[in-house]
Structures are given as C-alpha cells and as structure tokens.
A = this chain, B = another copy of it.
Amino acid sequence: MRNNYCLIMAGGSGTRFWPRSRTKKPKQYLNIFGDQSLIQATVQRFAQFMSEENIFIVSAKTQQEVLEEQVANLPKENLIYEPVGKNTLPAIGLAALFVAEKDPEGILIVSPSDHLIQNDPLFIQTIESAALIADKTNGIVTIGITPKYPATGYGYVQTNEEVSLGQTIKSYSVQKFVEKPNHAVASGYLQQGGFFWNSGIFVFKVSVFLESVKNFAPALYADLLRIKAAIGTDQFETALDEIYRQVTSISIDYGILEKAENVFLVQGDFVWNDLGSWEEVYKYDQKDENQNAVRGEAILLDTKNSYVYAPDSLVAVVGLEDVIVVQEGNTILVCKRDKAEEIKQVVGEIARRKLDQFL
C-alpha cells in the first residue's frame, strides 16, 4: 500500500468575498461556516485519513503569517511558498519536489483550499478510489462532481468508458476537459450525460506527475530540477526566487491534463461547491424560517431570503428581500443577491479612489 500525501493549494486571492476577503486574507482563511476557516476545514478533512506530516500546503509568500497562524498543527517545512504566483502547474511542481524528497512513489492528492465539501466519509472513499486508480494505472486522476444543474461557472470533464476496478465509486477514462460553457451548452452536457464538473481535485503518483511535467512542460521541468538542486542549501531562497520568477504561468489543466493520455475521472457524489460568491455561501448556510442566514448579532424584521454576516456589529435589516449584508471591520457591503458579481467593480472603485485601507 502506497502512502497518501495531500497538497492543498492556498495561493489564491480574490475580490468576490469583499469586504471579508482582503489582500492579506483571501477567502481560504475566512471562517465562512463556523469557527474553522475553509483551509482549516480542508486540512482537517485530510487529517482524517493521513498523518499531518503528509499534508503539504503551497501558498503565496504574502500569506505566510496568516497561513502559519491557521495551520499551526502542520510541520512548518510542509508549508511551501511561491515567491510570486505562477498558476497551478508551477505551484504543484514546486511542492511536488518536497513530497518527492520524502516519497517519490507516494500518491499525491492535490486539492483546493477554499471549497465547501460535505459528507466526509464519502469524500474519503472517493479519494481512496482515486488513489487506487492512480496507483494501478500510473494515470492522472481527477475528481469529477456529478452535475446537479447546467452550471455555467464550472469547467466540465467529458468521460468515455467506465474503468471502475470493482469499486462502488465509479471511474471513467477522460475524453476531454472543456471550459466553462454557456447555459445552452451546459444543458446539452447534462442531457447527453457523461459530463462532470471539474472539482480541481487531482490524484497521481508524484513520479507520474513529474514525468508528465517533463513530457509536456520541459522548460518548467528543467527549472524545477535546478530548484531541487538547491533544496537544503543556504542558497535555496535566492535560487528559488531567481528561478521561479522567470517561470511561465500555466494551469495544470492546460499544461498537463488536456495533453496527457492516461487521464481518469472518479465520480464525486459528496456535497461540493466552489463557493464562488456570497450567493453560494447563502445557499449552503443554515437558514431560519424566513430563509435568512445570519452570522453574528442581527435583527431582521419583515426580511427574508437574506444573508447577514456581522461579527462585531449589530445589524438591523428592515423590509428587504434577497440581500447580502456583510460587515468586516470598518467596511459594509449591502448587495442584492443576484448582483454579487458587481462586487469586483466595488473593489475596483475603492482602488480608483485610493482607499487602500479598505482593500
């Protein structure tokens, strides 16, 4: 039985959760659904079936302080920092070097840090099925979520024949990855069948991944070898910084998955959501009899279908429907639920007004 490792991708930054997500505290560090942040919940999910020694995180240097504070239970040497963001393939490549130092034939599970996953036993069973497929086939395995509706916010994976190895969790060979579709195309996918949402969770042997980098991204592979040579020396930081800065940004999807032959999909039927907006948070949070979700102290009168987050204020909402109210420090967002995509314009306007203390 091979050892399992996980690599949690925590370098992301974004504006969709403004005012809660800030430059120094992106979404993965927010306690959206309770006391734990999303990354803490992710770590805890993996710690149910692997040692904390086996859990790695790749993040941005700018997030070091908040990351170390939030995952103090993990070994510091498992926290790997990109000097600059270069998208997922270089980030995974960098982290894979460290996992390979420990166990080059180990199974690596790459996972986002900021998604919602419910039903942990089914999640673990799915991951273990994926690990088995990755081991037996020397393939690259992606977890595909059975689509519930024709979502236009997710990439899809189209599958071919089933390749399940006698497991209850179904597996398929992958035909192709497709970009976020429009509504008509997505509806077609659901009607046709065999399409899954791309969860961003990938499973492979470390050696298989590095071999794929060598085949499909040889320049990156050469750079990774140079970084690897510096590991453990006192030139490491300087070398990493110098080499990594000139690496080409590229996603693992585009750089490897769309090019590799031996790609498989394991079907995920656990509750999954990428929490792309406050709207998604509202959908998955607990609600009262008026379909309001409230985090913090709030008084809602004649108000329904609304979300309120106010950890250290008293918020009163009167006579409204379908609104999101979020207070964070000295910033307040009041947003109609179906207009949440305009939050990025708010952030742009804050920057334009040079009100950087609110970013």
Q: Which residues of A contact B (CB under 8 A)?
A: 18-19, 297, 299, 301-302, 310, 312-320, 323, 325, 327, 330-336, 338-340, 342-343, 345-346, 349-350, 353, 355, 358
Contact = CB atoms under 8 A, between A and B. Distances in A.
Q: Considering the complex of A and B, which 6 residue pairs feature the smallest CB-CB distances, nearest first?
A: A319-B339, A319-B336, A318-B335, A316-B346, A314-B358, A315-B332
A339 B316 contact: no
Nearest to A297: B355
A124 B174 CA distance: 85
A355 B314 contact: yes
Contacts of A342: 301-302, 318-319
A343 B330 contact: no
B346 A301 contact: yes
Contacts of A339: 301-302, 318-319
B318 A336 contact: yes
Which one of A313, A340, A349 has the greatest number of beta carbons of chain B within 10 Å?
Answer: A313
22 contacts: A19-B314, A19-B316, A299-B346, A299-B353, A301-B339, A301-B342, A301-B346, A302-B339, A318-B333, A318-B334, A318-B335, A318-B336, A318-B340, A318-B346, A319-B335, A319-B336, A319-B338, A319-B342, A320-B323, A325-B332, A325-B334, A334-B334
Contacts of A317: 334-335
Contact of A314 (B320, B338, B343, B350): B350
Contacts of A302: 339, 342
A270 to B, nearest CB: 32
Contacts of A349: 299, 301
B343 A318 contact: yes
Contacts of A18: 316
Nearest to A332: B315
Given A336-B320, A339-B318, A313 B331 contact: yes
Contacts of A299: 346, 349-350, 353
A358 B315 CA distance: 10
A251 to B, nearest CB: 30
A335 to B, nearest CB: 4
B331 A314 contact: yes
Which of A19, A319, A334, A338 has the most B CB atoms < 10 Å from its CB? A334
Given A297-B355, A299-B350, A335 B316 contact: yes
Contacts of A319: 335-336, 338-339, 342
Nearest to A334: B317
A15 B315 CA distance: 16
- Interface centre among A297, A316, A332, A358, by most B CB within 10 Å? A316
Nearest to A329: B313
Nearest to A326: B316
A295 B313 CA distance: 20
Given A301-B342, A318-B343, A342-B319, A313 B332 contact: yes
A316 B332 contact: yes
A130 B345 CA distance: 56
A335 B345 CA distance: 24
A327 B332 contact: yes
Most buried by B among A302, A318, A320, A342: A318
Contacts of A313: 330-332
Given A316-B332, A334-B334, 7 more contacts: A301-B349, A313-B332, A316-B335, A318-B340, A319-B336, A319-B339, A320-B320
